[in-house]
Amino acid sequence: MKILILNCGSSSVKYEIFDINGASETVLSSGIVEEVGRGSSSLT
């Protein structure tokens, strides 16, 4: 099962995608978008 976790702040969005298999979990992807709505925004 794949699970998307979002953490939305006032000017940033953080995310992680997990693959859950029984008792184990694997991070498939993670990142952050900073300075949302501003000219200096970035995705890492």
Rounded to an integer, what distance in angstroms lies between the CA atom of residue 13 and that of residue 25?
A: 22
Domain count of the fold of the chain: 1
Per-residue model confidence (pLDDT) at position 38? 82
pLDDT at position 15:
96
11 in any annotated domain: yes
In a domain, 40, yes or no: no
Whether 44 maps to a domain, the answer reads no
Is residue 27 a part of any domain in this protein? yes
Quote the tokens at residue 30.
């993670």
User: What percent helix, strand, coil does the chain show, rounded to 5?
Assistant: 0, 70, 30
| C-alpha to C-alpha distance for 35 and 17, rounded to whole angstroms | 21
d(C-alpha 10, C-alpha 35), whole Å: 9
Q: Does some domain include residue 42?
A: no
Instruction: Please tell me the predicted confidence (pLDDT) of residue 27.
Output: 97
What are the pLDDT digits (tens) for 1-44?
999 999 999 889 999 999 999 999 999 999 998 888 888 877 77
Inside any domain, residue 30: yes
Residue 7, domain member (yes or no): yes
